[in-house]
């Protein structure tokens, strides 16, 4: 079942995609020649931190419209270390359980956490975000699986209510074979893991205005 906070994140993601798709062609028209390669152009999102920043800012705009969601905050790059949640009667034991499951990484860092600030309850949502740019990610499927395994572990320990994987592909979409592999893996995740998948590419940068 999709939670309300998850629907809000999906709405924020759509706003980001519109934001990107509107501006990328304009940047190409103003600053770039036809001879620049797609994978090497830095437009709007230079890395995953930029990606999560834009998603968070759009999500805060949405949250601020609804009074029942006051007191909810969005955090980024949070390490799930039991010592960071001392005094939390619910969360601390769950995080201790996570770090005792024998899997790596221990004390995993989560890209986005949405939490009730005034309540010791499981997080409303945990999300991992990937921004594929250039050859830093030579093997995209293992990179996806790394984040999915992290979310699966958190889910199994009951640390959050909803789970989302976000992928912005700014590199592989123009390689047909790799792009197909990525899409197949994302469909498999949606069908088998109960994790919401949000996916977009930077193809808009090739549009002309």
pLDDT in tens, 149-164: 999 999 999 999 999 9
**3-state SS assignment for residue 55:** helix
Average pLDDT score, the chain: 89
Q: 38 — phi, psi (to 5°)?
A: -60, -45
Report the distance separating Cα 25 and Cα 38, nearest Å: 12
Cα–Cα distance, 39 to 133 (Å, whole number): 7
Q: How many residues does the chain have?
A: 209
pLDDT surpassing 50 at residue 35: no
pLDDT at res. 42: 60
Report whether the peptide linkage leading into residue 41 is cis, meaning its omega lies within 30 degrees of zero.
no
- Report yes or no: 169 and 202 within 8 Å, Cβ to Cβ: yes
CB 12 within 8 A of CB 171: no
* pTM of the predicted model as reported, rounded to 2 decimal places: 0.91
Report the C-alpha dihedral over residues 159, 67, 78, 101, rounded to 10 degrees: 0
Instruction: Give the residue from 99, 102, 154 showing the smallest Cα distance to 123.
Output: 154
Instruction: Please give the pLDDT value at position 29.
Output: 62
Over residues 54-75, mean pLDDT:
90
């Amino acid at each position: 079942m999709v939670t309300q906070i998850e629907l809000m994140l999906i709405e924020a993601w759509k706003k980001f995609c519109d934001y990107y798709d509107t501006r990328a062609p304009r940047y190409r028209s103003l600053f770039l020649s036809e001879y620049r390669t797609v994978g090497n152009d830095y437009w709007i999102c230079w890395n995953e931190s930029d990606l999560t920043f834009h998603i968070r800012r759009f999500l805060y705009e949405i949250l601020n419209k609804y009074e029942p969601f006051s007191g909810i905050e969005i955090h980024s790059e949070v390490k799930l270390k039991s010592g960071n949640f001392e005094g939390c009667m619910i969360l601390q034991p769950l995080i201790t359980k996570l770090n005792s499951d024998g899997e790596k990484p221990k004390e995993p860092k989560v890209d986005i956490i949405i939490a009730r600030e005034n309540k010791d309850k499981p997080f409303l949502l945990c999300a991992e975000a990937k921004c594929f740019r250039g050859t830093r990610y030579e093997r995209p499927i293992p990179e996806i699986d790394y984040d999915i395994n992290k979310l699966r572990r958190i889910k199994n320990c009951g640390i959050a209510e909803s789970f989302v994987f976000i992928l912005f592909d700014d590199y592989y979409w123009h390689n047909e074979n790799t792009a197909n592999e990525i899409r197949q893996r994302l469909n498999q995740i949606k069908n088998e893991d109960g994790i919401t998948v949000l996916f977009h590419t930077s193809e808009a940068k090739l549009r002309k205005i």
